[in-house]
Structure 1
Amino acid sequence: MMLPPAQEQTELIEVVRITDPMRHLNSEDLTGDDVAIWEAAQVSDTLRLIGSLPDSELYRCFIPSWGIRAHSDSDLLFQIAFCFRCHGARLWGPRVPGALNTIHSFAPDSPPARELLQRFHDSAPRQAQALLRRS
């Protein structure tokens, strides 16, 4: 999956469990439950995983369950909402060039996607992890 050039400025990533997925097709902000903040090695590992997501056929549902907000030391750079059902990841934000500001396809069964989803699940509070395994 293509990431914006601003990825190089990412200092921290907020992990978001999306609670109202229907609003994320055109919304300006990524909303849901903030479950973790990743810094340092977690940021570079996550961006490497996302950047290595292979393409797939994009389906139509786009009901995302997880998302990230990528920040520099002072600003929001970009957001991504992931739908592991329809193989879509919506990339948008203030530092996303127009051509990349869209829904990108990814293969949710690929090793990088499975690892990313596992990291999302592992970042959730322990009592919620069993419920989240379904997404």
Structure 2
Amino acid sequence: MLLPTTSAMAGLVEAVRITAPSAWRTGAGTLAGETVDRWEDAQEVLGLVSALPVGPAMRCFVPGFGIRVHAAPGCLFEGQVLFEIAFCFSCRWAFLLGAAVTQDIATQAFDTTSAPARELLRRFRESAAAAG
């Protein structure tokens, strides 16, 4: 999966359980959901995301999870949200949001049966279960 160029500045990733899948974006254009974990290994997580291969897509887009990517300490944009991604593991689509997201990468289909997708989903589920 292609990521915005700002991904190199990432220092923290929030795992988000999307609480309103049919209204997954707020009026401000951000993910609507509950932060269930904070992953300090931002570059490792983004490595999983960037390793997601293209796959066949369907059409439901009812995302259950997403990530909110924050800039690393010491970075020009320290602490700010760089971009967000909403994932639907049913229809195999990801929607990217943020100022650095270009039109050509805003929507991408991915292979949910791939090892990176299975690992990402495992991390989401584990974080959601721990959060209650």
TM superposition score category, shorter chain reference: 0.7 to 0.9
Query: Which residue of structure 2 lines up, in the alignment, with residue 35 of structure 1?
Result: 36
Query: Which residue of structure 2 lines up, in the alignment, with residue 57 of structure 1?
Result: 56
User: Structure 2: which amino acid aligns with 1:6?
Assistant: T
Between the aligned partners of 1:127 and 1:11, the Cα distance in structure 2 is 22
Query: Which residue of structure 2 lines up, in the alignment, with residue 115 of structure 1?
Result: 119
TM-score by length of 1: 0.85
Q: Deviations over 1:45-77 (max 9, x none)?
A: 110000000111111000000000001123111
| Range 119-128 or range 12-21, more displaced | 119-128
Tell me, yes or no, if the aligned pair for 1:69 and 1:80 is still in contact at 8 Å: yes
Q: Deviations over 1:18-47 (max 9, x none)?
A: 1101113796110111101111xx211110
Q: Return the match for 1:94 from 96, 99, 117.
A: 99
User: Structure 2: which amino acid aligns with 1:20?
Assistant: A
Tell me, yes or no, if the aligned pair for 2:25 and 2:32 is still in contact at 8 Å: no
Tell me, yes or no, if the aligned pair for 1:25 and 1:62 is still in contact at 8 Å: no
Cα shift at 1:127: 7.0
Query: Which residue of structure 2 lines up, in the alignment, with residue 18 of structure 1?
Result: 18
User: Structure 2: which amino acid aligns with 1:70?
Assistant: V
Q: Once superposed, what is the RMSD of the aligned Cα atoms?
A: 1.7
Indicate the SS of the match to 1:108: coil
User: Structure 2: which amino acid aligns with 1:38?
Assistant: W
User: Structure 2: which amino acid aligns with 1:31?
Assistant: A
Identity between Structure 1 and Structure 2 (%): 41
The count of aligned residue pairs is: 125
More helix by share: 1
Which ranges in structure 2 are unaligned for 5 or more consecutive residues? 72-77
TM-score by length of 2: 0.87
Cα shift at 1:125: 4.1
Tell me, yes or no, if the aligned pair for 1:77 and 1:96 is still in contact at 8 Å: no
Q: Deviations over 1:76-101 (max 9, x none)?
A: 11000000000101011122123222
Indicate the SS of the match to 1:116: helix
